[in-house]
C-alpha cells in the first residue's frame, strides 16, 4: 500500500497512463460525433477570431480534451480522498474505501445502481459521486457549471478502467493507493498539478512555489499590510495561484489573526472571514480545482470539523481564467468608443468566454486597485501563441520586443493593489530576465521607476526546486512616494549542489537570516541598501562581493565604446522559420539542391575558442546579401520547400500580418542585411553561452540569430578586426558582459540551477555590446597568434584529417599529436592575453606576460587560477566540479618542468590573485575560458561514423545498372563493403577492434540512421492526427496551384513534437516541421525471410524512386509467398507517396521512358485489390501493438456492457 498523500510523485506517475487513456478516449468520442465536432471547430474559429488563441485546431482541441480528462481524473481523486477520510459521511463510498467492508460496500452499491438503472453504466455510476460533491454545500464549487469535467465526458469503457485503477490491490489485499491520512495532507495535489499532464505543463508553465519561498514573501507583504489597516475587509490575491500555495499560506495566517482579533466570534465565522479575504485566479482550470479543494479541506480543519457533512458553504473566491485578459485596468483595452461612458471594456478584451470561465466573477476579482496584498509566482515563459502575444501588447503598455510574461504580470500585480496612503503591498518571485534583456528597459525605466520598491533580492543562486530559470524576489507598494533606498540582496556564490532540505540551503539561509541586516556580507550574498536611483536605469546588476567596484574600474579606463568603431552590431538576418529553411550539407547534396542557393549557416553553439565548427547550410536565394532572386531559378530547392509553403507564407511581417496578406514572397528570409558600407570580414559571437566567444569570419557565410555579428566600416583591415577580437575574448570582457547580460541559468524551468558561477548560460546581445568600453591599447599580436593557431587546429580536427589524409591508424595518430600540441599553445596564449588586458584596463600596473608565442604549451588545470582553485579544493575551503567537468587534473604546485622564467611569472600571478581584490575576482572559473568541447576521441568517433555513412550513401549502391532503385538489406551492404579495404580499415577504427565483423557493426551503425517509409510506422496516434492536417494542407496547396483557392484560405498546420514520433531518432531526423534529413529509409518487416538484417532504401531517392522501390519490394515478397495481409503497409506506402509522384513526376521519365505517375497508379490499384483493402482505407492501417499485461482489481462489480 502507498499512502497517496505523501507519495505525490509516485501517484502522479501512476496516473499519467490513466490520463492518456482518458484523453484518447474522449478524442475518439469527439471524432465520432459530427455535431459536437462541428461545435468544437466553430468555437476554435471564434477563439482565433477573438484572439484567444492562434493555435491550430489540433493543439487547441488537445488542450480542451486534456482539461476535460484531467477534470474527470482530479474529481475522482477528490472523491477518493473524501472516501478514505470519511469526509462525506461514514458510509459515503462509490469507488472504494478505507476498510475492506467499505470497499465491498462501494461495489455492492454500484451493482445495486446497475440493477435499478439497467440502461446506465460505469460513467453514470462515477457521476453519482460527483453529484454527492455537488449536493454538499462545502464541495459544490468543485463540480459547478464551470468545472472542466463538463467540457467532455469519457466513455463508460474508459471510466471502467479508471475505477479499476483505484480499486487495484497489492499482494496483501490492500489498496495500492490509499488516501487515509489523519493530517488530511493535500500538498500531494501540487505534484499532480505540476506533472500530471506534459502537454499542460508546457502550455501553462506549471511550477509549484516551495513553502519557504511563499512564507518569505508573505512575511514581507501580508504582514506589513496587516500592521497598518483593519482586518475587516482585508483582501489578498494571487493572480497566478496555481494549486494554491500562497492562498493556503495566507489563509492560515488570516485565521490566526481572526482568532486573536475577534475571539468572541463563532469559529465558523472567523474561518469564513479569513477565507473571504483570500482571492485567486489561474489560467489552468485544473489548478483552480486543486486550489479550491485544498482550501475547502483547510477550512474544514480550521473549523475543527472531522468531515464535510456538517460543514458550511465556504466562501471561495477562486476562479479559472486569464488574469491578463479579464478585468483590465482602466484604459488598458482597445480604445473603442461606442458612445457609452459606462461601456465595460472587459467585453472587448475577453469577448470569448470558455465554459471553465465565470466572466462576471473574474471581472469582480480582477478589478484594479482593491487589494491590500498581491502575491504570486507568475509564469516566466514568453508567449508563443501569436494572438495572445499581440493581445497582451494591446493591454499592457510595457510589453516590448520579445517580452516574457514577467512584464505584463508585473504591471498586473501592482495595478491590482490599492493605491493611496494605505497602498497595497506587492510581492513576487519571478524571472530575472527583465533585469538585463532589452525587453525589460520600459518595465524598469518607465514602470518600476514610479513604484515604491522595498526589496530586490537576487535568488538566482539559491536552490529552489524546479526553478531552473534564474529568479529575483521583488517587494514593493503601489505608491508613487518613493523611498530613497531599496533593500537589496546581491548574489555572490550559488548553492554548492542540491541541499537535502532546500529550505536550509546555504544561499537561502543566508538570505532569510540576513535580509534585515544591511551591512552583511558572507560567502553567499551581500545585503545593502541601494540608492533608489541605482534601480531607475536598465540594466540592473545584483552582483555582490566587489563586482560593482570592479565594473566601475573597467569603465573608467574606456577611451570609447564598441559602437564608436563598429558600423553595425546585432543580428545578421532572420528566417523566422529555421526548421524549414535549414538543412545539413549532406542533405543538400542528397536531394541535389542547387548549391548556389544555400550558404553555410552559422549558429551560436558552433562558435567556440576562435573557431566556427562545421554545421548546416541555409536556403539563401539572394544575389549578394539582399537582392532576392525568383524561386523559379531554383526548381529543386522549390520542390524541397513546397511542403512548408503555408507555414512560411503565414510568418508574421513587421506589420503584424502574414506574408500572404502583405504580398511578400513566401520563400524569402524575414530579414536580411541592408546594403551598407561595411567590411567584408565579420566578427561573430555566441549569443548564448557560459563564457564569451568571438570569432573572425573571412566571408561567405550567413548567421543565425544565435550568432550576431559585428561589422566594421568598409576599409577596415584584418588587424582592425583582430584588435577587437583579442579584447572581446579576454576574461575582463567576460566579466563586463556577465555584469550587463541576462543570466539564463542552466536550461529553463525545471532545468536545475547553476551550482557554480561558471555553469549558467548568459545572453550576450548586440545592444549590450554597443556599450562595451574599449581600452587605449589592444592585444593585436596575441589575437593574431590565437587566430592563426585556431586555423591550424581546425586542419587537425578528425573530420578534416580523415577527409584529406585517410583513416589509417598512423594518420589519425599524427593528427592527434599535432592537435594536442596546438591546443596547449592556444591555452597558454589565451592566458597571456588575459593578463595583458588587465594592464590595458589599469587593473594592475605592471605587465606579467611573456612575449607573443613564447609561453610554453600548458594543459587544462595548470593555469594560475586553477592552481588557486585546486589548493582551496584540497584544503576543503571550496567544492567544485570544474576539473572533473573539463577533464583536467587539479595541481597545487607550479609544474617543475616549466622554464624558470615562466614559473617565476606564474608565481607572481598567484601572489597578485591573493592580494589584489580585482584580480582575485577576475581570476575565477566564471570569467576564464573553459576550453570545453568534445574530446579528441569523441570527435574521432563522430568523424569515422560520418565517413563510413557517407560511403554507404554512394548512389551506385542504391541503383541498378538500369537506373531503377535498389532496396538493400544490411547483409547485402556488408557483402559489398567487405570488398573495400579502406572502408574496412575505418570500420575497425570506429569499432575499436581489428577485423571487426562487418554485418554486426553495420547494424549498429545504421540503427538510428533510417526513418520508416510509412507515416503509420513513424508517428504515434498524436503524430498521425497532425499528419492528416498536413496532408489536408498539401491538398489545398495543390488547389491553390491550380488557381482554385487563395493562399490565405489555407490554415496553418500544427507543429510536431518529440512525443508524436514512435522513436526519438525519427524526431531527431525530422523535427517539428517533419523535414526529412535522414540518410536512409527503413522497410521494417518486409525483408527476405532468409535475411534477418533490416531492409533499407536511400533517402536520396525522389518520390518516384520511392514508389518504384515499394513496388519492387511487394513483387519480391509476393514471389516468396509472403502472406498478402503482411504486404498491406507496402501498398499503403505506395498510396502515401503517389500524390507527390503525380505532382513532381508526371510525364515520361527521361531515364526510364515511362510515365511513373500512371505506372504507380496502376500498381496501387492492382495491389490494393490483391490485398483486399480499398485504396481509400489503406491510410487506416496501423502496426499491431505489442501486448501489455495489466494487474486487475481483486474485487470488481458485475460485468457491465460499456456505453458510449
pLDDT digits (tens, 9 = 90+) for 546-564: 898 999 999 999 999 999 9
What is the helix (H) or strand (E) element at residue 44, kind and residue range?
A: helix 34-49
Mean pLDDT of 462-469: 82
More confident residue, 1204 or 991: 991
Mean pLDDT of 287-316: 94
What is the helix (H) or strand (E) element at residue 491, kind and residue range?
A: strand 485-491
Query: Which letter, b or e, does each residue of 1162-1199 get, where b requires 16 or more Cβ atoms within 10 Å of its Cβ?
Result: ebbeebbeebebebeebbebeeeeeeeeeeebeeebee
Provide the pLDDT for residue 906: 98
The DSSP symbol for 444 reads: I
* CA-atom Rg of the chain in angstroms: 33
Q: Is the pTM of this model over 0.95?
A: no
Provide the pLDDT for residue 204: 64
More confident residue, 747 or 847: 847
pLDDT band at 8 (very low <50, low <70, confident <90, very high): confident
More confident residue, 479 or 351: 479
What tens digit of pLDDT does each residue of 883-904 get? 999 999 999 999 999 999 999 9
What tens digit of pLDDT does each residue of 488-541 get? 999 998 888 889 999 999 999 999 999 999 999 999 999 999 999 999 999 998
Q: HEC string of 371-418?
A: ECEEEECCCCCECCCHHHHHHHHHHCCCCCCCCECHHHHHHHHHHHEC
What tens digit of pLDDT does each residue of 924-960 get? 999 999 999 999 999 999 999 999 999 999 999 999 9
All three cell numbers of 757: 558561477
All three cell numbers of 1066: 525519427
Spatial distance between the Cα atoms of 643 and 472, rounded to a whole number of angstroms: 44
Provide the pLDDT for residue 1195: 44
pLDDT at 31 over 50: yes
pLDDT at 332 over 60: no
Other CB atoms within 10 Å distance of the CB of residue 205: 20
What is the helix (H) or strand (E) element at residue 683, kind and residue range?
A: strand 682-685
Mean pLDDT of 163-190: 92
What stretch(es) of the chain map to CATH 3.40.50.150?
Answer: 378-403+414-545
pLDDT band at 234 (very low <50, low <70, confident <90, very high): very high
N-to-C CA span, the chain: 33
Question: Of all residues in the chain, what percent carry a pLDDT higher than 70?
Answer: 95
Provide the pLDDT for residue 493: 87
Cβ-based burial of 914 (10 A; exposed 0-12, middle 13-18, buried ≥19): exposed
pLDDT at 342 over 70: no
Q: Which of 506, 501, 529 is nearest to 516 (CA)?
A: 529
Spatial distance between the Cα atoms of 1182 and 1164, rounded to a whole number of angstroms: 18
Spatial distance between the Cα atoms of 143 and 75, rounded to a whole number of angstroms: 8
Other CB atoms within 10 Å distance of the CB of residue 1056: 23
Provide the pLDDT for residue 656: 84
Spatial distance between the Cα atoms of 140 and 296, rounded to a whole number of angstroms: 10
pLDDT band at 399 (very low <50, low <70, confident <90, very high): very high
Averaged pLDDT of the chain: 92
Other CB atoms within 10 Å distance of the CB of residue 170: 12
Q: What is the DSSP string of 537-549?
A: SSSP--B-TTHHH
Distances (CA, A) of 86 to 137, 254, 1173: 16, 27, 56
Spatial distance between the Cα atoms of 1108 and 1136, rounded to a whole number of angstroms: 13
Cβ-based burial of 1080 (10 A; exposed 0-12, middle 13-18, buried ≥19): buried
What is the helix (H) or strand (E) element at residue 430, kind and residue range?
A: strand 425-431
Spatial distance between the Cα atoms of 293 and 270, rounded to a whole number of angstroms: 19
pLDDT at 339 over 80: no
Which residues, at least 6 apart from 990, have a Cβ–Cβ distance to it below 8 Å? 941, 944, 945, 948, 996, 1001, 1005
All three cell numbers of 937: 576521441
pLDDT at 1162 over 50: yes
Locus of grid cell 496555481: 242
What tens digit of pLDDT does each residue of 679-705 get? 889 999 999 999 999 999 998 899 999
pLDDT at 1204 over 80: no
Contact indicator for 859, 824 with CB cutoff of 8 Å:
yes
All three cell numbers of 1147: 510525364
Spatial distance between the Cα atoms of 1091 and 1085, rounded to a whole number of angstroms: 11
Query: Which three-class secondary structure state does DSSP give residue 1065?
Result: helix
What's the topology of domain 378-403+414-545? Rossmann fold (3.40.50)
Name the least confident of 353-357, 605-609, 944-948: 353-357
pLDDT at 114 over 70: yes
Read off φ and ψ for residue 175, nearest 5 degrees.
-60, 140
What is the helix (H) or strand (E) element at residue 701, kind and residue range?
A: strand 701-703
pLDDT at 1186 over 90: no
What tens digit of pLDDT does each residue of 747-781 get? 544 444 457 889 989 999 999 999 999 999 999 99
More confident residue, 833 or 675: 833
All three cell numbers of 377: 509566482
Other CB atoms within 10 Å distance of the CB of residue 171: 6
Spatial distance between the Cα atoms of 422 and 432, rounded to a whole number of angstroms: 28
Provide the pLDDT for residue 545: 83
Mean pLDDT of 453-462: 95
Locus of grid cell 485544473: 286
What tens digit of pLDDT does each residue of 701-751 get? 999 999 999 999 999 999 999 999 999 999 999 999 999 999 887 654 444
Report CA 14 to chain centroid distance, whole Å.
Answer: 24
CA angle 1161, 1162, 1164 (to 5 degrees): 65
pLDDT at 344 over 80: no
Q: What are the counts of helices (DSSP H) followed by strands (DSSP E) for the chain? A: 46, 32
What tens digit of pLDDT does each residue of 859-880 get? 999 999 999 999 999 999 998 9
Cβ-based burial of 863 (10 A; exposed 0-12, middle 13-18, buried ≥19): buried
Provide the pLDDT for residue 626: 85
Going along 239-290, which residue ranges are E strands?
A: 278-282
Amino acid at each position: 500500500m502507498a499512502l497517496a498523500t505523501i507519495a505525490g510523485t509516485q501517484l502522479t506517475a501512476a496516473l499519467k497512463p490513466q490520463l492518456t487513456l482518458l484523453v484518447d478516449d474522449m478524442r475518439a468520442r469527439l471524432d465520432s460525433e459530427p455535431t459536437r465536432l462541428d461545435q468544437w471547430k466553430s468555437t476554435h474559429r471564434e477563439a482565433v477570431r477573438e484572439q484567444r488563441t492562434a493555435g491550430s485546431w489540433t493543439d487547441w482541441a488537445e488542450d480542451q480534451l486534456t482539461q476535460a480528462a484531467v477534470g474527470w481524473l482530479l474529481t475522482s481523486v477528490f472523491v477518493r480522498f473524501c472516501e478514505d477520510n470519511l469526509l462525506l459521511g461514514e458510509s459515503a463510498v462509490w469507488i472504494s474505501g478505507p476498510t475492506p467492508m467499505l470497499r465491498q460496500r462501494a461495489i455492492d452499491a454500484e451493482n445495486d445502481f446497475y440493477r435499478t438503472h439497467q440502461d446506465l453504466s460505469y460513467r453514470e455510476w462515477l457521476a453519482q459521486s460527483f453529484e454527492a460533491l455537488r449536493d454538499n454545500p462545502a464541495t459544490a464549487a468543485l463540480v459547478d457549471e464551470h468545472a472542466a469535467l463538463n467540457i467532455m465526458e469519457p466513455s463508460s469503457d474508459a471510466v471502467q478502467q479508471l475505477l479499476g485503477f483505484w480499486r487495484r490491490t497489492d499482494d496483501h489485499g490492500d489498496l495500492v493507493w490509499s488516501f487515509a491520512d489523519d493530517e488530511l495532507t493535500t500538498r500531494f495535489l501540487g505534484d499532480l498539478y505540476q506533472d500530471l499532464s506534459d502537454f499542460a505543463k508546457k502550455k501553462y508553465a506549471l511550477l509549484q512555489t516551495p513553502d519557504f519561498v511563499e512564507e518569505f514573501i508573505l512575511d514581507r507583504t501580508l504582514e506589513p499590510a496587516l500592521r497598518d489597516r483593519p482586518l475587516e475587509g482585508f483582501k489578498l490575491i494571487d493572480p497566478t495561484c496555481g494549486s494554491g500555495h500562497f492562498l493556503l499560506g495566507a489563509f492560515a495566517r488570516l485565521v490566526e489573526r481572526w482568532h486573536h482579533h475577534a475571539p468572541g466570534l463563532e469559529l465558523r465565522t472567523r474561518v469564513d472571514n479569513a477565507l473571504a479575504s483570500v482571492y485567486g485566479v489561474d489560467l489552468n482550470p485544473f489548478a483552480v480545482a486543486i486550489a479550491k479543494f485544498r482550501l475547502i479541506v483547510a477550512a474544514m480543519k480550521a473549523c475543527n470539523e472531522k468531515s464535510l457533512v456538517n460543514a458550511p458553504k465556504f466562501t471561495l473566491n477562486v476562479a479559472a481564467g486569464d488574469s491578463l485578459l479579464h478585468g483590465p485596468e482602466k484604459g488598458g483595452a482597445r480604445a473603442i468608443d461606442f458612445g457609452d461612458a459606462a461601456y465595460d471594456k472587459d467585453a472587448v478584451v475577453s469577448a470569448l468566454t470558455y465554459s471553465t470561465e465565470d466572466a462576471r466573477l473574474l471581472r469582480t476579482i480582477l478589478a484594479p486597485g482593491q487589494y491590500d496584498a498581491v502575491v504570486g509566482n507568475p509564469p516566466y515563459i514568453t508567449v508563443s501563441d501569436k494572438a495572445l502575444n499581440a493581445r497582451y501588447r494591446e493591454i499592457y503598455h510595457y510589453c516590448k520586443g520579445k517580452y516574457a510574461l514577467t512584464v505584463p504580470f508585473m504591471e498586473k500585480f501592482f495595478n491590482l493593489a490599492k493605491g493611496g496612503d494605505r497602498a497595497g503591498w506587492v510581492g513576487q518571485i519571478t524571472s530575472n530576465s527583465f533585469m538585463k534583456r532589452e525587453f525589460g528597459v520600459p518595465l524598469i525605466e518607465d514602470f518600476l521607476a514610479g513604484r515604491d520598491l522595498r526589496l530586490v533580492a537576487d535568488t538566482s543562486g539559491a536552490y529552489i526546486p524546479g526553478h531552473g530559470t534564474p529568479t529575483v524576489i521583488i517587494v514593493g507598494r503601489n505608491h508613487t512616494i518613493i523611498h530613497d533606498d531599496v533593500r537589496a540582496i546581491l548574489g555572490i556564490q550559488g548553492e554548492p549542489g542540491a541541499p537535502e532540505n532546500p529550505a536550509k540551503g546555504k544561499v537561502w539561509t543566508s538570505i532569510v537570516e540576513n535580509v534585515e541586516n544591511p551591512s552583511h556580507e558572507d560567502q553567499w550574498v551581500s545585503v545593502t541598501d541601494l540608492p533608489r536611483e541605482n534601480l531607475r536605469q536598465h540594466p540592473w546588476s545584483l552582483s555582490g562581493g566587489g563586482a560593482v567596484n570592479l565594473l566601475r574600474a573597467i569603465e573608467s579606463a574606456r577611451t570609447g565604446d564598441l559602437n564608436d568603431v563598429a558600423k553595425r552590431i546585432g543580428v545578421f538576418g532572420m528566417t523566422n522559420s529555421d526548421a524549414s529553411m535549414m538543412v545539413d550539407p549532406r542533405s543538400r547534396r542528397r536531394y541535389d539542391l542547387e548549391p548556389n542557393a544555400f550558404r553555410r549557416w552559422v549558429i551560436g553553439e558552433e562558435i567556440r575558442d576562435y573557431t566556427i565548427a562545421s554545421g548546416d547550410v541555409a536556403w539563401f536565394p539572394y544575389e549578394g546579401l539582399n537582392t532576392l532572386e525568383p524561386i523559379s531559378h531554383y526548381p529543386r530547392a522549390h520542390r524541397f520547400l513546397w511542403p512548408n509553403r503555408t507555414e512560411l507564407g503565414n510568418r508574421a511581417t513587421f506589420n503584424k500580418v502574414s506574408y500572404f496578406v502583405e504580398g511578400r514572397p513566401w520563400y524569402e528570409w524575414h530579414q536580411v542585411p541592408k546594403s551598407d558600407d561595411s567590411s567584408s570580414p565579420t566578427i561573430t559571437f555566441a549569443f548564448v553561452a557560459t563564457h564569451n566567444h568571438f570569432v573572425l569570419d573571412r566571408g561567405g557565410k550567413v548567421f543565425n540569430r544565435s550568432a550576431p555579428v559585428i561589422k566594421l566600416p568598409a576599409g577596415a583591415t584584418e588587424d582592425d578586426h583582430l584588435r577587437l577580437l583579442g579584447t572581446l575574448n579576454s576574461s575582463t570582457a567576460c566579466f563586463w558582459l556577465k555584469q550587463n547580460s541576462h543570466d539564463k541559468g542552466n536550461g529553463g524551468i525545471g532545468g536545475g540551477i547553476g551550482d557554480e558561477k561558471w555553469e549558467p548560460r548568459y545572453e550576450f546581445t548586440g545592444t549590450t555590446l554597443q556599450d562595451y568600453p574599449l581600452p587605449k591599447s589592444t592585444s593585436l599580436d596575441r589575437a593574431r597568434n590565437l587566430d592563426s593557431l585556431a586555423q591550424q587546429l581546425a586542419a587537425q580536427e578528425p573530420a578534416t584529417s580523415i577527409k584529406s589524409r585517410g583513416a589509417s591508424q598512423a594518420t589519425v595518430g599524427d593528427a592527434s599529436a599535432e592537435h594536442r600540441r596546438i591546443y596547449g599553445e592556444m591555452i597558454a596564449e589565451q592566458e597571456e592575453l588575459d593578463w595583458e588586458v588587465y594592464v590595458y584596463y589599469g587593473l594592475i600596473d605592471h605587465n606579467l606576460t611573456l612575449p607573443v608565442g613564447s609561453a610554453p604549451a600548458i594543459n587544462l588545470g595548470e593555469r594560475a587560477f586553477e592552481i588557486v582553485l585546486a589548493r582551496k579544493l584540497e584544503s576543503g575551503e571550496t567544492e567544485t566540479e570544474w576539473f572533473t567537468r573539463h577533464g583536467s587534473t587539479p595541481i597545487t604546485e607550479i609544474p617543475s618542468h616549466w622554464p624558470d622564467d615562466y614559473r617565476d611569472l606564474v608565481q607572481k600571478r598567484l601572489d597578485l590573485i591573493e592580494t589584489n581584490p580585482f584580480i582575485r575576482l577576475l581570476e575565477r572559473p566564471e570569467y576564464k575560458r573553459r576550453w570545453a568541447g568534445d574530446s579528441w576521441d569523441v570527435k574521432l568517433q563522430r568523424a569515422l561514423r560520418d565517413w563510413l555513412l557517407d560511403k554507404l550513401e554512394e548512389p551506385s549502391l542504391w541503383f541498378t545498372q538500369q537506373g531503377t532503385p535498389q532496396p538493400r538489406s544490411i547483409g547485402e551492404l556488408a557483402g559489398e563493403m567487405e570488398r573495400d579495404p579502406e572502408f574496412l580499415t575505418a570500420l575497425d577504427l570506429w569499432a575499436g577492434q581489428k577485423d571487426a565483423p562487418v554485418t554486426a557493426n553495420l547494424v549498429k551503425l545504421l540503427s538510428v540512421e533510417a526513418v520508416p517509409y510509412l507515416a503509420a510506422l513513424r508517428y504515434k496516434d498524436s503524430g498521425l492526427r497532425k499528419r492528416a492536417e498536413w496532408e489536408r494542407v498539401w491538398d489545398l496547396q495543390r488547389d491553390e496551384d491550380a488557381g482554385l483557392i487563395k493562399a490565405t484560405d489555407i490554415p496553418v498546420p500544427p507543429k510536431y513534437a518529440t512525443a508524436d514520433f514512435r522513436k526519438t531518432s525519427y524526431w531527431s531526423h525530422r523535427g517539428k516541421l517533419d523535414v526529412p534529413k535522414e540518410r536512409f529509409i527503413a522497410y521494417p518487416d518486409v525483408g527476405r525471410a532468409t535475411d534477418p538484417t533490416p531492409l533499407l532504401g536511400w533517402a536520396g531517392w525522389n518520390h518516384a524512386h520511392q514508389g518504384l522501390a515499394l513496388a519492387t519490394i511487394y513483387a519480391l515478397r509476393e514471389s516468396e509467398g509472403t502472406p498478402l495481409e503482411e504486404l498491406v503497409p507496402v501498398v499503403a506506402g505506395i498510396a502515401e507517396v503517389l500524390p507527390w509522384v503525380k505532382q513532381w513526376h508526371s510525364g515520361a521519365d527521361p531515364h526510364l521512358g515511362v510515365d511513373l505517375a500512371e505506372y504507380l497508379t496502376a500498381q496501387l490499384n492492382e495491389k490494393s485489390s490483391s490485398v483486399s483493402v480499398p485504396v481509400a482505407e489503406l491510410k487506416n492501417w496501423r502496426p499491431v501493438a505489442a501486448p501489455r499485461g495489466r494487474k486487475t482489481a481483486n474485487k470488481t462489480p458485475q460485468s457491465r456492457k460499456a456505453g458510449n
